[in-house]
Chain A
């Protein structure tokens, strides 16, 4: 049985939305970071789905790139978060507002 592409795209959209909501609403930077990973993977799902639907390998190739970049990003991002925590002893985004007027 073949799952319809619409379902796959719907799932992708749902995961992406959850990711956006997580970034906007959660205060913990680590959770926000994980939400970003959610969004990336939602996009990956959409890429794969559309690649398959169009019978092209391009989308699938892009996914590998995204996964690579996401891994690098996770490494750098986690390092930054650790550094922030060491300095500020918090990972609450509301308290990290030094870059204001």
Chain B
């Protein structure tokens, strides 16, 4: 059932207006205007989204709010309109994108207080919000893709925001290129669906129409389309093998890392898979692939995070790892659990990044955790909120991460993927270890802060700490909407999302208490180890690193994947570009052709000008020859 709801357009309108204002008037009207309007438009969008959500909740379950803003693509029989829809899934995502986004916009006021380029920053942030909202509100796949590309563009613009540093510009390019590779997969997936549905006379990529007609497509084609789309998701959501851009994307300002590279954009892949769940359900082998990639990415990235010295890098790998959990969830068919984790992760990971930003703000941009320590007295609010987020991501009850992560792990086990479940709980142990390592190194122990930075250490202003506190509150209670089935009010969010993404159908019924205590026990073990290594016996990590030098180096160098890609892909491509495309095709063939054309005309001229001797008798001679030839021709005509 659908209900016309034109106000959805305003959710897009506000960020669009904010973007235009910041681009054209931001610098002229000055910082205070930008500081009001930049975050203000997102709050306005959030208010509309909340209104739409309330409206949606008051309607019968399964209702979809829709509005067609204008006709968009009409090519032959195919058509796609610029049309929005808000079902339960979109509503939840919209609230996350605008709600967490608004808090991060507020935080950015403080974070960018000393940056001259604040207008450009808020312009990009607003444009990002617009793109992300198009992505989650689109009612067809091409429009979703437009938002998908838009967030990729904004990610590029914001990662290389401080573009005068070459490394930042490089990180932006890397993010963009890795995303483009995934986008190619996304496009192929769309083409596959269009051609397969078109063969049956269905020329549309509207989700509702695809949902009703996907059954007519042959199973192998469905699998192909699902895998192609998932390749797109691995690019956007930083999964193996395209995750390499996300750690480098930390070159951007920290609010960007929190908003784009933790809370919203990187979860677009999970959203897309959940949105296309009707397709994935028909392609069990593609689902297996999603779940396996997710679990492998989770443990792979978590193991790298164990040894990284850079506070933002730890959080970046942690994000990749948590995204892996989400894909594990949707891959085993628990779409609602995956989206639930998107939500809780948005709360606690955005909070973690903002706290890290607050720490960096206090330490003049220091990111090396081995140059921190003992900060909990000086940054009490940051410390408290970050500890809450850490408990949440470590899945300690009753913090939010516990409910969502546990739901995913239970679903993985109950769907018969015991191996993936095992990977998941090992990752859970690693997660709590590296997160508490971060906490202990940053806030506990003795101060290792460089002497010249010590006098400046200060708690961030209220404009930054209030968003931290709000997010901390959400990170505490956010999980309560998804309690285990049959416990108090049960899994509210699962019921809410069920009309959009279906319900999880378990094949096993593992003992809930057993499963939960296994993951809880491992999480506790991780905390204990972190405490022992970094507080009780601070020499231990060095000893272990020394004794297992090769393993330590392997992790510290991120499994040499970047080097592998450099050797196998980037360098050969550069070589081909330089020598084959540049030197041979461009310089030799194309330039050769153009220069050759000029040269042949010149040479021809040099040769033919010799005819003009200036000697009048030679001209007369040639003239006579011509006359004779004409006479001979006419004689020939007369005599024959």
Contact = CB atoms under 8 A, between A and B. Distances in A.
A101 B615 contact: no
B614 A24 contact: no
Q: Contact residue range for chain A?
A: 10 to 19
B615 A24 contact: no
A39 B387 CA distance: 117
A93 B618 CA distance: 10
Contacts of A100: 612-615
Interface in A1-57: 20, 23-25, 27, 32
Interface in B598-640: 609-610, 612-617, 620-621, 624
Contacts of A98: 614
A94 interface: yes
B613 A97 contact: yes
Contacts of B609: 101
B470 to A, nearest CB: 87
B624 A20 contact: yes
Given A101-B609, A101-B610, A24 B616 contact: no
A90 to B, nearest CB: 14
9 contacts: A24-B620, A93-B615, A93-B616, A94-B615, A97-B613, A99-B612, A100-B614, A101-B609, A101-B612
Contacts of B614: 96-101
A20 B624 CA distance: 8
Given A93-B617, A97-B615, A24 B624 contact: yes
A89 B613 CA distance: 21
A24 B613 contact: no
Nearest to B609: A101
Contacts of A32: 617
Contacts of A93: 615-617
A99 B619 CA distance: 12
A23 B620 CA distance: 8
Nearest to A101: B609
Contacts of B613: 97, 100
Contacts of B621: 24
B617 to A, nearest CB: 6
Interface secondary structure of B, over-half rule: helix
Contacts of B610: 101
Contacts of A101: 609-610, 612, 614
Contacts of A20: 624
Nearest to A20: B624
Interface string A62-101: 0000000000000000000000000000000110111111
Given A96-B614, A101-B614, 14 more contacts: A20-B624, A24-B621, A25-B617, A93-B615, A93-B616, A93-B617, A94-B617, A96-B616, A97-B614, A98-B614, A99-B614, A100-B614, A101-B609, A101-B612
Contacts of B615: 93-94, 97, 100
B621 to A, nearest CB: 5
Give 10 closest A-B pairs by Cβ, nearest first.
A100-B614, A97-B614, A101-B609, A99-B614, A97-B615, A101-B612, A100-B613, A24-B621, A100-B612, A93-B617
Contacts of B612: 99-101
A100 B617 CA distance: 13
Contacts of A94: 615, 617
A23 B617 CA distance: 7
B628 to A, nearest CB: 10
A94 B618 CA distance: 10
A79 B413 CA distance: 116
A97 B617 CA distance: 10
A32 to B, nearest CB: 8
Interface string B230-272: 0000000000000000000000000000000000000000000
A100 B616 CA distance: 10
**Most central of A27, A98, A99, A101 by chain B CB within 10 Å:** A101
Contacts of A27: 617
Interface in B150-202: none
Contacts of B624: 20, 24
A10 to B, nearest CB: 17
A72 B282 CA distance: 103
Nearest to A100: B614
Nearest to B619: A99
A94 B620 CA distance: 13
A94 B615 CA distance: 6
Nearest to A25: B617
A96 B618 CA distance: 12
A69 to B, nearest CB: 19
A101 to B, nearest CB: 4
Contacts of B620: 23-24
Contacts of A96: 614, 616
A99 B609 CA distance: 12
**Most central of A23, A27, A98 by chain B CB within 10 Å:** A23
Nearest to B615: A97
A98 B613 CA distance: 9
A32 B617 CA distance: 9
